Structure 1
Amino acid sequence: MSDRVEGNSINSLITYSQMREKFLSPAFCLYVGAEVAGALHYAHTCKGENGAPLGIVHRDLNPARIFLEPEGGVILTDFARARSLLPGRVASTLPRPHGDVFYCSPEALLCEETDPRADLFSLGLVLLKLATWRHLYSTANVRPDDLEEALTEKVKGKVLDAAITAMEADLPDHADDCILRAATFTREDVDEITEPLAHPLRSIVRRLIHRDPEDRYQSAAEVEADLRAGLAALGVPYGATEALDEVLISLTGASMSRGVLGPTSESQLPPAMVTEEDIITERGGTT
Structure 2
Amino acid sequence: MCRWLAYSGTPVLLGTILYKPAHSLIDQSLHSRLGVETTNGDGFGIGWYAQEDIATPAVFRDTGPAWNNRNLREIADHVRSPLFFAHIRASTGTAVQQTNCHPFRHGRWMWMHNGAVAGFHALRRDLALRVDPSLYADVEGTTDSEMMFFLALTFGLDEDPPGAVARMAGVVEAVGREHGVADPLQMTVAVTDGESVWAFRYSSRHESRTLFYSTRVDSLRRLHPDLEFLREVSDETRLVVSEPLGDLPGAWNEVPEGTYGIVRPGHDAIHEFAPAPV
Could you state the TM-score of these two structures normalised by the residue count of structure 1? 0.29
RCO higher in structure (CA 8 A, sep ≥6): 1
More helix by share: 1
More strand by share: 2
Q: Which protein shows a greater Rg?
A: 1
